[in-house]
A and B are shown apart, each in its own frame.
Chain A
């Protein structure tokens, strides 16, 4: 079983991702939520996580900066960007900052299973 951190400023999207993870049949134990990159970094300091799912476009600290700072703090968990941002350059920047890959919104539980099944 895995602990998963969802970083997204939309509470609706956090609920959808949580529900979709369970519908996808992934081995989920605890799901932690954060509304921006700053909350995400704070969560990493208090809870052990096996996988991080992060939006890019967020207030206060966006997903690109969150990934960079999480890696700088020594976070080794895979970080998948779940985002509407499909451009090659912006995804490339996320990968350069330490992201593992990306999932495009909208997504289905099957697509989550396909992308995340090998990570947890």
Chain B
């Protein structure tokens, strides 16, 4: 479960640097927007692609690179995150929780974009997509080009992943 060397060489960063960047960005987003201090548990020991009672927020990157930045979060933690984000009690998974997870993915995608594209015009972010369910599996056709970072908050774990490929025509 690692990032392709071509991607990292093109972006002038090492995989561990990219992982550290995602860790710092995630901690900043959670601390600033939710007043939640999360702990990273990098590196990931065992790959995970099946989730139970969870919500996944994703944003796509397209242009000089193609890929997906995703956050996978247990439903109860997602409710807690959304409550902190909005400053009000949220009781169940619904529009607010979905929107919050999408917005977190969007903010993290913006951070990654800044590493991969200093100018910003050669790489586009998609509108976020959110999926949720009792049991679902997330599969990538390029599993070897990804880095996944586990985080912990209050005894619950969530994952932030980046799957990416360099496009040769840029």
Chain A interface residues toward B at CB < 8 A: 9-13, 15-16, 19, 57-59, 83-91, 93, 105-108
B155 at the interface (CB under 8 A from A): no
Once the chains are docked, how many angstroms separate the CA of A106 from the CA of B85?
11
The answer on a CB contact under 8 Å between B82 and A12 is: yes
**Quick check: B119 and A89 within 8 Å, CB to CB?**
yes
- Inter-chain contact B120/A57, CB cutoff 8 Å: no
Chain A residues with Cβ below 8 Å from B110 are 83-86, 105
When distances are taken between beta carbons in the complex, the residues of chain B under 8 Å from A16 are 33, 85-86
Contacts of B114 in A (CB 8 A): 86-87
Chain B's closest residue to A83 (CB) is: B110
Closest to B29 in A: A106
Given contacts A16-B86, A84-B125, A89-B120, 11 further A-B contacts (CB under 8 A): A10-B102, A11-B99, A57-B125, A58-B127, A84-B106, A84-B113, A88-B120, A93-B121, A106-B28, A106-B29, A106-B32
The answer to whether B66 has its CB under 8 Å from any CB of chain A is no
A108 touches B106 (CB 8 A): no
B15 close to chain A: CB less than 8 A: no
Bound state CA distance, A15 and B87, in angstroms? Answer: 9
B-side interface mostly: helix
- Inter-chain CB contacts under 8 Å: number: 72
Q: Does B80 contact A (CB under 8 A)?
A: no
Q: How far, in whole Å, are A10 and B109 apart by their CA atoms in the complex?
A: 15
CB distance from B147 to the nearest CB of A (A): 19
Total chain B interface residues with beta-carbon distance under 8 A: 28
B117 at the interface (CB under 8 A from A): yes
Say how far B82's CB is from chain A's closest CB, in angstroms: 7
- Given A10-B99, A87-B114; A106-B125 close (CB under 8 Å): no
Contact of B125 among A15, A19, A85, A93 (CB under 8 A): A85
A82 to nearest B CB, angstroms?
A: 11
Residues of A within 8 A of B86 (CB): 12, 15-16, 19
Residues of chain A within 8 A of B125, CB atoms compared: 57, 84-85
Closest beta carbon of chain B to A107's beta carbon, Å: 7
Q: Supply 14 A–B pairs (Cβ within 8 Å), ascending by A.
A: A12-B100, A13-B103, A59-B127, A84-B106, A84-B110, A85-B110, A85-B113, A85-B120, A87-B113, A88-B120, A89-B121, A91-B120, A105-B106, A106-B107
- Determine the distance from Cα of A105 to Cα of B113 in the docked complex, in whole angstroms: 13
Residue contact B127 to A9, C-beta cutoff 8 Å:
yes
| Contact present for B95 and A11 (CB under 8 Å) | yes
B107 touches which of A84, A89, A91 (Cβ 8 Å): A84
Residue B14 CB within 8 A of the other chain: no
